[in-house]
Amino acid sequence: MAVSPDWLSKKEATIFGDLYQSGNVIGVNDLFEDSDRRLWICGDNGLGYYDENYNFFSVAGSLINNSLVKIREDYEGSLWIASSREGLLHLAKSKFMDVNFAASLPRSVVNATQPFNGVLYIGTDEGLLAVDRDHHPVENHITEKFEGVRVRHLMTDSQNRLWVGTFNAGGIACISPAGEIEFFSRENGLTNDNVRMSLELYNGDIAVATNDGVGIIRDGEIIRTYTQKDGLSNSTILNMCEDDEGTLYLGSDGGGIFSVRDNVFKNYGKNEGLRSGVILRMLYDPDNDGIWVSTSTNIDLFRNSGFHPVSVPVDVIGSGIYEIKRTPDGKMMLLTSLGIFLAGSEDLLEGGAPSFTAYSRKEGLLSSVTANSWSYMDESGQLYLCCVNGVYEINVMDVFINRQNPKIAIRKAEVDGVIFENPTELTLQSNVRRLTLDLAVLSYVNPGYNKVEYSLAGFENDKIEKYIKDLDPITYTNLSGGDYTFEFNATNSDGVPAEKPISLPITKEKRFLERPIAIIAMILSAAALIVLVTGSYYRRKNTQLEKRQKELRAIITQAITAIANTIDAKDPYTRGHSKRVADYCVLIVKKLGLDDNETDNLYYTALLHDIGKIGISDAILKKEGKLTGEEYEVIKQHSAIGGDILKDITVIEEIKEGAAFHHERFDGTGYNTGLKGDQIPLFARIICVADALDAMGTSRPYRQQRSLEYIISELRNNSGTQFDPQIAQISIDLIIQGEVILQKDEGNGS
């Protein structure tokens, strides 16, 4: 255990012993001095610490009140406590304090908070709870009096009296500084026993808003009421405020705002620009000479008998703006269902979407704010926030910020099932199909909102950002051979970044077909064979001409077929595709009456029409499912790549045209050049139809093989748009006559 020697010096041992006894920690199991020089004591009955002046402070909470055996501190100053009953407990610094947890109070919907005589009173639907300054629960005659009573509002006035507004339980109670309780209800003149709020007016009177008007209390008597007969067309009053001239404003449940001055009523509604008649909250603002008005999902500034609308983003409003306050430094505070949002009044009034400082779930608020609740804030900015599962305490003028740089790590890499712990570099074999990276951010203050940023340079350009709570292990499949760098950084929930991002070099060996020299070698080999055979042809006697022509064709065919098979091997779903397209082209061209030499040239051209796919990543070619827009733009480049690869082969001039233009459409809407009609070379028009015929006649990852009827229908429907009409009709005739035999598909039965 880490305890400094000066804690136990002989001179101070007696003082320390006396103070220890006052700590009331029984059965000490562990002592620990933290980075702030506090001496923590773990005991059988709870947890506490001494500061450097030997003042003892206990730490309360339902989970840390017994059987604590050890305590340690992490690099962020959070404490980890081992409990033999509860397991491992985490005591972290946070922007919010959970008052119910600290005081071991039951969870309940909180409607109001208010300090009175050194005690924080908490109004709930089940009664009145209370805690002292050290967050110890308090039970007294006041809490007993309101046990089981629905408390909607709490207020202290200038005479230090506590006003407790109830629903159907005696109206409103006034509690004197000495603790004497007096009720005001319908029995003694209050307009209704369902109290919404109370407000001390500038003259010292107490205004009480109810479900049926307003009562004015002075010197223990109800001296005046305002109801429908006085001019309140809607007498359900949700809230009130008063300006510096003594005008009382009443916010109603559907009738807009009523002002009362010298017993004269005025009503302000939609005709004056109010966007809703339901007034959830009002706040007088002397700096802007107006009243801020919340109508749930809208906020306006009411001045000069008109309403100035304010634009508030939807991600701030949530389910409604429940309360409006002013912070000690003059900022506007909106309490919405999502939490606390701060902005300058000038920013709100400028127009556009104002910039808010938020304290919500991301900052550690673990509950929604209670609708139409009354949260108390003192002059220092200490706010006791009413929430649906208790009270959360925060000082909006001195908010804790975790400035410690988070630690980050690549916890492990999984390469086709093989695990590498904390890798610093990776070398992948050419046959690796799947790489998975597991990232970690070691920040324990509100950890779900640590944000990660990562990218794989060489594969993706844009960086991806996610909260760690939304992050799954990152997987890359079928990476092409080459060099990559995985870049990873993170920020904690307060936006503080790690000291240094992580760069993980990744090298994947290239497959044979990915190496440029392999592609060049195949093309040069085929060209060399053609040249050698052609030279040999002219050196032979005329009697061997026919035989050698056949051999030449066979050699050329075999060489080019080998290249075509190599192309198709990149995708198992299109194996044999180039050979079938070439066969279909021969059937079509014979109907057009071309000679044998042109037929052979077309056959070779069709075999190599997809050679450009050599330049496309396997991850895109072999993807199962629909391609993204970016992936589709990449794969469209294969025709241009193919034309570029074959451009220097002049023995068959058309060979590069088949690769470059077979995705042009007859109506000019194809790619990559937008040629139309007869501008498209004949061979490319024939390959276009044959390519589509094979695509429809074979099964693909995203669909099954099409029927003959479907194929004929598609050829007819796209004749003149995608396809040359003459070639499309020839193909239809070949299918009908049974000359086109589609690849057999066991799953389809075609």
Q: Which of 322-336, 544-558, 606-620 has the highest mean pLDDT?
A: 322-336
Q: Chain centroid to CA 111: how far?
A: 31
Report yes or no on 624 lying in a domain.
yes
Report yes or no on 726 lying in a domain.
yes
User: Which residues, at least 6 apart from 191, have a Cβ–Cβ distance to it below 8 Å?
Assistant: 210, 212, 213, 214, 215, 225, 226, 227, 235
- Report the CATH number that the domain containing residue 505 is assigned in CATH: 2.60.40.10
CA atoms of 15 and 675, how far apart (whole Å): 97
Report yes or no on 86 lying in a domain.
yes
Report yes or no on 570 lying in a domain.
yes
**Confidence (pLDDT) at 607:** 85
pLDDT band at 738 (very low <50, low <70, confident <90, very high): confident
* Sheet containing 434-442, strands listed edge to edge, beginning at the edge strand earlier in sequence: 418-421, 407-415, 434-442, 474-477
Boundary (domain end) residue, out of 475, 510, 545: 510
- Tally the domains of the chain: 3
Contact 386, 112 (CB under 8 A): yes
Helix (H, G, I), strand (E, B) or coil at 125: coil
Reported as a single tens digit per residue, the pLDDT across 138-154 is 999 999 999 999 999 99
Question: Higher confidence at residue 13 or residue 732?
Answer: 732
Q: How open is the CA angle 297-301-306, to the nearest 5 degrees?
A: 110
Hey, what are 243's tokens? Answer: 């300006």
Same structural domain, 499 and 533: no
Rg (CA), the chain: 40
User: Which residues, at least 6 apart from 336, have a Cβ–Cβ distance to it below 8 Å?
Assistant: 316, 317, 318, 319, 320, 321, 322, 369
Report yes or no on 196 lying in a domain.
no
**Confidence (pLDDT) at 513:** 64
Hey, what are 555's tokens? Answer: 């050699």
How confident is the prediction for the chain on average, in pLDDT? Answer: 86
- Report the CATH number that the domain containing residue 77 is assigned in CATH: 2.40.10.500
Same structural domain, 556 and 423: no
**Confidence (pLDDT) at 300:** 92
CA atoms of 522 and 524, how far apart (whole Å): 6
| SS3 of the chain: helix, strand, coil, percent, to 5 | 30, 30, 40
**Confidence (pLDDT) at 126:** 95
Same structural domain, 672 and 612: yes
- Report the CATH number that the domain containing residue 539 is assigned in CATH: 1.10.3210.10
Reported as a single tens digit per residue, the pLDDT across 527-566 is 656 766 666 556 555 555 566 656 666 666 666 666 766 6
pLDDT band at 260 (very low <50, low <70, confident <90, very high): very high
Same structural domain, 503 and 612: no
pLDDT band at 745 (very low <50, low <70, confident <90, very high): very low
Same structural domain, 441 and 556: no
**Confidence (pLDDT) at 704:** 79
Same structural domain, 541 and 649: yes
Same structural domain, 529 and 492: no
Reported as a single tens digit per residue, the pLDDT across 334-379 is 999 999 999 999 888 887 778 899 999 888 899 999 999 999 999 9
Boundary (domain end) residue, out of 93, 128, 149: 93
Q: Which residue has the tokens 């804690």?
A: 7
Report yes or no on 189 lying in a domain.
no
Hey, what are 589's tokens? Answer: 């061209």
Same structural domain, 584 and 680: yes
Q: How many CB atoms lie within 10 A of CB 566?
A: 17
Boundary (domain end) residue, out of 36, 61, 93: 93
Of all residues in the chain, the percent with pLDDT exceeding 70 is: 86
Going by their DSSP bridges, the two strands 426-428 and 390-395 should be labelled as unpaired
3-state secondary structure labels for all residues of 733-746:
HHHHCCCCCCCCCC
Mean pLDDT of the 612-640 span: 80
Whether the upstream peptide bond of residue 672 has omega within 30° of 0, thus cis, is yes
CA atoms of 299 and 130, how far apart (whole Å): 33
**Confidence (pLDDT) at 729:** 94
pTM of full prediction above 0.75: no
Which residues constitute the domain of residue 425? 407-510
Reported as a single tens digit per residue, the pLDDT across 279-310 is 999 999 999 889 999 998 899 999 887 888 88
Given a cut of 60, whether residue 576 has pLDDT beyond it is: yes
Same structural domain, 609 and 647: yes
Report yes or no on 576 lying in a domain.
yes
Same structural domain, 445 and 523: no
Contact 608, 564 (CB under 8 A): yes
88 vs 70, 187, 256, 507, CA distance in Å?
Answer: 10, 56, 54, 41
Report yes or no on 142 lying in a domain.
no
Same structural domain, 616 and 667: yes
Same structural domain, 451 and 535: no
Going by their DSSP bridges, the two strands 321-326 and 339-343 should be labelled as unpaired
